[in-house]
Structure 1
């Protein structure tokens, strides 16, 4: 099983996604936690 962690942290909206065998397992955005 292959896992890929994608991160976007260089702009005002940070985000992370976890893929397992090419399928999205989890995805989150900073604004969902900070409400900004």
Structure 2
């Protein structure tokens, strides 16, 4: 179950996806999430 989830995450984790994820994380952080 965790292995298949890891495979899916690896497939989705393209450079663009990583950039968008980091940008989204920074946006949440600037909103006071952290």
Give the TM-score normalised by the residue count of structure 2: 0.20
Report the structure number with the largest CA radius of gyration. Answer: 2
Give the TM-score normalised by the residue count of structure 1: 0.20
Greater helix percent: which structure? 2
Structure number with the bigger relative contact order (C-alpha 8 A, sep ≥ 6) is 1
